[in-house]
Structure 1
Amino acid sequence: MQINGQLIKKKRKQLNMTQNQLAKGICKQATISNIEKKNTANNMQIITAICNRLGLEVNDITVTVHKSQVQGLLKKVTKLIRYYKYEEAEILLKDVVEVMDELEEHQLQEAYHCIGALSLFRNGKDDVTLYNLYQSLEHATNEGSIITILSNNLLGIYYATKGFTKQADAFFEKSVRLAELSRGYEREEALSTVYYNIAKYYSSKNEYQKAIDYCDVGISICTENMSLLGLVHLAYERAFNCRALNEEVGREAYKFAEQLAELTKNTEMLAIIRADLKKS
């Protein structure tokens, strides 16, 4: 929810109240600080209690999101999802959902995509995941757009997790076919995610060389965009599949992935990589 954090701060100071005093019995002081600085909140009960203490109405501090702001919000949400920051993405997305009946077709597509992605990765509600991802495809105005490619890719992930191999194959193959249309042009950074997801899928089917090939494409997209986002995951996935084919080659690939994880300070992946290295 978008709120007017400055109004809360102004009213608090008028009442000679500290952040700790305002927070007492409601939330942590850090929550008040975040509300005042970032103008967002994800707990209606907390906001209501804060307003009651300050003598404000909730409507007084609620900020209406205008259509002109939606595109920027959607881009932020999509990026947060790629960074696995699902909680932050959900907070921003609530503001978009409130004005969905006013959105243009391409904005609707991205909004449905984001709702479906968060359901897939965070909530696990099958009906919500499928409805929104299919709606994203329904509202596609350009079959080659990155959101269309990503929605097809996520449907591949969904069906793969459910064990529906035929459907998973179809959606993964379609996402690759659409992604291939961007060859020869500047390929968007987000496409690296598509190839990573497909590599993981083929790795689960023990098609190791195929998985390695897809990892290589994803890595090349990262290097084209001079991006470290997703590079460690791709390097790790490549190492995992290399080792399945050749222990020595795999060990070298793991060392490279370890160096990348250290460079990017990705402690989670570093722990996984080092645990795998101990097994070899």
Structure 2
Amino acid sequence: MKKSAVGKLIETERRKNGFTQEMLGDGICTQGTISNLENLGRLPTLETLLAIVERLNISLEQFYETIKSDSSMYHDEFKQVQLLCNKLKHKEAKELIVQLIEFDRLTTNLQRMKYYYYFGITSLIGENDYREAFYNFNQVLTIDSENANIFHILATNGIGVTYYFENDSDKAKTYFEKALILLENISELDSFDVRNSEIIKVYFNTAEYYSEMHEHKKAVDIAEKGLEHCRNNDIDFGQEFLIYAKAYNLYKLNQKARAEQHFIMASSLAILNDNQNMIIAIKKDSKEFNLELLEKFLEM
């Protein structure tokens, strides 16, 4: 497997200094973080990364030049795809993947997992192509399967969504629950995974599933658990999805006042994040549920 330029640099300098991965990470991070950096090209937090660079006596100039030279990372392109998906613009995201990201230029497992996951989710939501979705999500699960990361969790959840769209609620539940179990082991994942806003989708999709199954209390509990994770890990972008799920299911539990309060909070964040599809959904609910305060807020 071809490694990223950053991964090669860290491994080369570590060996020059006579460090094992565990020795390099001592007092900074786990051995697994070093392994992921070298083998997957997965960058930890900036603080951790700078501590590793300092321990290896790598100049900042050399380090930043290495990052710039690794043109196959596609950081900006994947970020654009993620933002489009967060705004439910999956067709546009799919077009971006096809036009800008060349699979053969991806050099690390992490990049390939990103590609397969986003190709799968955009095929599913943007094109209703279940076969393409299944194929790409399963491709994610075959890569470095012994070391679960956020994209394994997202792909597992994505399979649940695909089964649900195919009206197979039993299989969907199996994969939704499996993804939640993987999330329970989040402490074993590195900081990249813990703080990744994509985690919101796992909680939201699962809450939506239980809402459709009329298990509204469970849907509220899952949404609350997702919001707690966001608070604990400083994740702000995308919280409107979880607050909306909580609001909708509170209403179904006959808690109208609390539901309306949460609808207004979700609306505020949706407006802030330019989430037009969410705003449309909330407007529809405000009329259907006769939520006067919410309607007044949306008219402002």
For residues 163 and 194 of structure 1, the distance between their equivalents in structure 2, rounded to whole angstroms, comes to 19
Q: How many residues align?
A: 214
Partner of 2:212: 204
For residue 256 of structure 1, what is the amino acid of its counterpart?
H
Query: 1:271 aligned to 261, 277, 283, which one?
Result: 283
- C-alpha distance 90-263 of structure 1, shift in aligned 2 (>3 A): closer
Answer with 1 or 2: which has the greater Rg. 1
For residues 90 and 105 of structure 2, the distance between their equivalents in structure 1, rounded to whole angstroms, comes to 24
Query: 2:251 aligned to 243, 246, 257, which one?
Result: 243
Shift of 1:232: 2.2
Shift of 1:257: 2.0
- C-alpha distance 143-205 of structure 1, shift in aligned 2 (>3 A): farther
Contact 1:254–1:277 (CA under 8 A) maintained in structure 2: no
Contact 1:109–1:136 (CA under 8 A) maintained in structure 2: yes
Partner of 2:83: 79
For residue 251 of structure 1, what is the amino acid of its counterpart?
A
Query: 1:174 aligned to 178, 200, 214, which one?
Result: 178
Shift of 1:106: 2.2
Secondary structure of the structure 2 residue equivalent to 1:278: coil
Shift of 1:253: 2.2
- What is the root-mean-square deviation of aligned Cα atoms in Å? 2.8
Query: 2:96 aligned to 86, 92, 97, which one?
Result: 92
Partner of 1:155: 159
Percent identity (aligned): 25
Give the stretch that moved more between structures: 114-123 or 68-77: 68-77
Secondary structure of the structure 1 residue equivalent to 2:262: helix
Contact 2:73–2:111 (CA under 8 A) maintained in structure 1: no
Unaligned runs of 5+ in 1: 1-65
Query: 1:253 aligned to 253, 259, 278, which one?
Result: 259
For residues 99 and 144 of structure 1, the distance between their equivalents in structure 2, rounded to whole angstroms, comes to 22
- C-alpha distance 270-201 of structure 1, shift in aligned 2 (>3 A): closer
For residue 114 of structure 2, what is the amino acid of its counterpart?
E
Unaligned runs of 5+ in 2: 1-69, 293-300
Matches for 1:51-130 after TM superposition, within 5 Å? 67-95=71-99, 97-100=101-104, 102-130=106-134
Give the stretch that moved more between structures: 255-264 or 235-244: 255-264
For residues 145 and 200 of structure 2, the distance between their equivalents in structure 1, rounded to whole angstroms, comes to 22
Q: TM-score, normalised by structure 2?
A: 0.63
Q: TM-score, normalised by structure 1?
A: 0.67
For residues 212 and 93 of structure 1, the distance between their equivalents in structure 2, rounded to whole angstroms, comes to 34
Partner of 1:20: none
Secondary structure of the structure 2 residue equivalent to 1:163: coil
Deviations 1:76-127 (A, max 9, x none): 3233322323244223312555343653222212111111111001011122
Deviations 1:171-223 (A, max 9, x none): 11111011111159863222121111100101111111111110101112233
